[in-house]
Structure 1
Amino acid sequence: MDRFEGKVIVTGAAGGMGRPTARRFAAQGRPLLLCDVNAQRIEALADELRSAGGEVDTLAGDIAAPEYPERLLSALNDSPIFALVHTAGLSPTMADADRILEVNYFATQRLVSALLPRFSEGGCAVLISSVSAYMLSDPAVLAATRELVEGKGRDAIAAFATDPGAGYAISKRAVIGLVAREAAAFGERGVRIVSIAPGFIDTEMSRAEAEVSEQMRAMIKMTPLGRLGEGDEIASVAEFLCSPAASYITGCDIRVDGGIVGRLGM
C-alpha cells in the first residue's frame, strides 16, 4: 500500500465530534466511510458532503455487535485505510456500566484489532478517551484497569464498575491503556495510534450529562479557558494527528480539555 493512501473511517459520525471530523477530511478530498448507529443522521451528513463533491460511503449499526468489525471491513471493499477517527461511545446517562464498558472499551479493542492489517503505511488511528480517565486515583481501580487492558478479563474491575459514571471513567482509562499497548504493533506496520481526551465539549451528549450532574456543571465553571470546547476543536486535533506533521506522535493520550485536568491537579 502506498504511503497515506486510503479511506478515512469516522465512527460516531453523526455526533458532535464526528460531524466536524468528517467535514475536515472531506475538505481534504479524502474518501470517507461514515459509521453511526443512527442511519438517518449519517445519510443526511453523507448527502451534505456528496453535494460538495465528496466520496462518501456509510455503515449504520451497533459498534458493539460481534459481527460489526467484519461488516466494516466488507464496507471498505478493497480500499486500504488512511485514518480511523473513532468517536463512537456512550456516556453515563446512556446505559448501565456493563454496556458502557462493552461499547467504549471492548468494541473499540475489537475494532482496532480487525482494522490494523488494512492500514496504509503512514496511517493513524485516533481514539477518543476522556478527561474522566484522569479522575481515577484509587490505586486498586488503576491496577484493575491495567489488568483489563492486559487481557485478564473483567473480573478485576467488576467490584469498581458498579455504576455508569465509574464504568465510563474506567472504560476511558482503558482506552488510553489500549493505545499504549497497541503502539508497538501499529509501529511495526508504519502506522500510529493515539487518543484524544476531550474536556467539556458542547455536544448533545455533554449537555445531557451536565443536566443531571451538579459536579460536572461545577467543573465546567472551573475550566481555565472559561468556556465549553467545540466539537471542531477536537476534530482539528484529530486532523493534525493524522497528518505528516504528527509523524512522531504515537502511543499516547492528548488532552484537549481547556486546562481542567491541570486546574484540578490530576
Structure 2
Amino acid sequence: MGTQTKIPSWAAGLSGARAVVTGASRGLGAAIALALAEAGAHVLAVARHAEELEALAAHHTEIEPWVGDVTDADFVAELAGKDIDILVNNAGTNHPMLMEDVDTQTLDRMLNLNVRAAFLVAQAAVKSMLEHGRGGSIINVTSQMGHVGSPKRTVYCMTKHALEGLTKAMAVELAPRGIRVNSVAPTFIETPMTKPMLDDPAFMAFVTDMIPLGRLGQPEDVAAAIVYLASPAAKMVTGTSLLVDGGWTAR
C-alpha cells in the first residue's frame, strides 16, 4: 500500500468523510481519488474496469474499488443507498469532430454520459445526503469548454455548458439543506483521453498558445481544486466554477 500523506490543515475536515468519485480508473479521476484519500476521506472509486481500479486502490488504503457504469440504472439506484458526504461527478467523454459530421450515435452517447448520467448520479447523491442529514459537497467536473466555444467541440461544449447550468441550479436549490454544489473546469490536461489529440503537433501548438501560462495542466492541478471545494475551507463557496485553465478563459 502507498505511503500515507499528512493531511493539510485546511482539508482536515475530510477525515472520515465518505466520497464517491466516478470515472476514477485513470487520468483525472484517479488523481482526484488519490488526493481525497490523502486528505483523509474514504473513497469509493467508480469505473467500469476492475483491473485499473485495483491498481489505483493499491496506492492507498482508503480507496475502495467499485466496478460500475454510471449510465446503468441499477448502479444509480445502488448509489442512492450509499452513505455519501462528497460526490465528484467526473465521468465523461469527448469525440471532437466538425458539427456537420456529428452522427446521432455520437450525439446521443455524449449527451447520455456527460449530461443525463451526470444528472442522475448527482440526484442519487443528493438523496443520500438528504437522508443522512449531514449536508455534503457535490463537485461536477466540467471543462473550460463549459464557458467558451471551440472548433470541433459543438457537442462537448453543449454538454459542459449544460453541466455548468445544472451546478448553479442545484446550488441554489440545495443550499438551504446544507449541500454545496460547485464545478471544476479544467483546460487541456495531460491524460489518456487527451493524448491522441495532443500528439498532433499543430493542435498542441494551438492549445499552448491559447493558455497564457504556456503549459498544459496536470491531473494533480485539478485534484487540488477538488480537495479545496470538498473541504471546510470552501464552506462559503457554492454555485461557482473554479477554472483550472491557466488563463484560457481570461482572454
TM-score bin (small chain)? 0.7 to 0.9
Q: Counterpart in 1 of 2:188?
A: 200
Counterparts in 2 of 1:1-266, with a 5 A limit? 6-50=17-61, 54=62, 56-74=63-81, 76=82, 80-92=83-95, 96-119=106-129, 121-136=134-149, 165-211=153-199, 214=202, 217-263=205-251
CA 1:122 to 1:105, structure 2 compared with 1: closer, same or farther past 3 Å? same
What TM-score does the superposition give when structure 1 sets the normalisation length? 0.78
2:91 maps to a residue whose letter is A
CA contact (8 A) 2:87 2:122 kept: no
Deviation of the 1:166 alpha carbon: 1.4
CA distance in 2, matches of 1:226, 1:165: 22
Amino acid corresponding to residue 197 of structure 1 in structure 2:
A
> Is contact 1:13–1:42 with CA below 8 Å preserved after alignment?
yes
Q: Percent identity?
A: 31
* Structure 1 position 107, deviation (Å): 0.5
Contact 1:91 1:209 in 2 (8 A): no
Deviation at 1:207, TM superposition (A): 1.6
Deviation readout 1:232-259 (Å, 9 max, x if unpaired)? 1000000000111111111121111000
User: Aligned partners of 2:18 and 2:136: how far apart in 1?
Assistant: 10
Deviation at 1:123, TM superposition (A): 1.9
- Tell me, yes or no, if the aligned pair for 1:97 and 1:164 is still in contact at 8 Å: no
The answer to whether the 8 A contact 1:186-1:192 is kept is: yes
Preserved CA contact (<8 Å) 1:14 1:45: yes
> 2:71, 2:117 within 8 Å by CA — same for their partners in 1?
yes
How many residues matched? 228
Between the aligned partners of 2:201 and 2:91, the Cα distance in structure 1 is 22
| Shift in Å, 1:66 | 2.5
Instruction: Report the residue type matching 1:127 in the other structure.
Output: N
Question: What is the CA distance between 1:122 and its match in structure 2?
Answer: 4.6
Cα-Cα RMSD: 2.4
What secondary structure does 2:182 align onto? strand
Residue type of the partner of 1:99? R
